[in-house]
Amino acid sequence: SQQGEEDPQALSIQEGENATMNCSYKTSINNLQWYRQNSGRGLVHLILIRSNEREKHSGRLRVTLDTSKKSSSLLITASRAADTASYFCATDPSGGSYIPTFGRGTSLIVHP
Amino acid sequence: ETGVTQTPRHLVMGMTNKKSLKCEQHLGHNAMYWYKQSAKKPLELMFVYNFKEQTENNSVPSRFSPECPNSSHLFLHLHTLQPEDSALYLCASSQESYLADTQYFGPGTRLTVL
């Protein structure tokens, strides 16, 4: 069954603005990962945050995890047109299969 | 370049054709995956292989037949497909399927079934 659900489904911003995407999930997890997909291409791993971590940074990316609310957010600061892509969260449910489960993704468009 | 290659990149086939998708990873990983990505739907896991053994079959119709001859190669054999099977088929690999590792994806094969 689907575990992660991204919100919003689509986001359109201007270059230089920040972009925030959210992911909600249903059951306890071991970790949560964010991936990016350019149109018609494979997914590229961005960042992994473990269930005992609350925040993680990688360059212009900031990921938070709130296990009490079963949610995570991905913040892209100072966005660029090249950030235009779909962003997916993948959760690894604890207590069962270790196969990450992906959501439908957030489609981000950054206008130059 | 993620270290995972897929061929062909595009494939158009009729419903009576037989074709195969190929995936190769150069990362020394032991787990390989097939996913199906259709428009407006979540990424669907199809098959998982760990150390050449199939560990997951996510209720995939028998017209899709996977083959994993070694840890570096993964095939998806297709026969008697339906138009609704048209999608982007993605291959991925990771160190092992039970370690919840980062997955490395190939560029995908865009399949169109006429």
Which residues are CB-neighbours of A104 under 8 A, at least 6 positions away? A5, A6, A9, A88, B40, B41, B42
Mean pLDDT, residues A4-8 taken together: 86
pLDDT tens-place values along chain B, 114 residues long: 779 999 999 999 998 889 999 999 999 999 999 999 998 788 899 999 988 888 878 789 999 999 999 999 999 999 999 999 999 999 999 987 766 678 999 999 999 999
pLDDT at A92 over 90: no
CA dist B90 → A8, A31, A74, A103, B20 (Å): 24, 22, 24, 15, 13
pLDDT at A89: 93
Task: Report the chain A residue with the minimal C-alpha distance to residue B38.
Answer: A104
Q: Which residue has the tokens 């990505």?
A: B37
- Mean pLDDT for all residues in chain A: 91
pLDDT at A1: 47
pLDDT at A95 over 90: no
pLDDT at A96: 61
CB contact under 8 A, A40 and B108: yes
A99, A102, A104, A106, best to mutate vs chain B, most B CBs in 10 Å: A99
Q: Judge contact between A76 and A15, C-beta under 8 A.
A: no
For B97, the closest of A44, A48, A99 (CB atoms) is A99
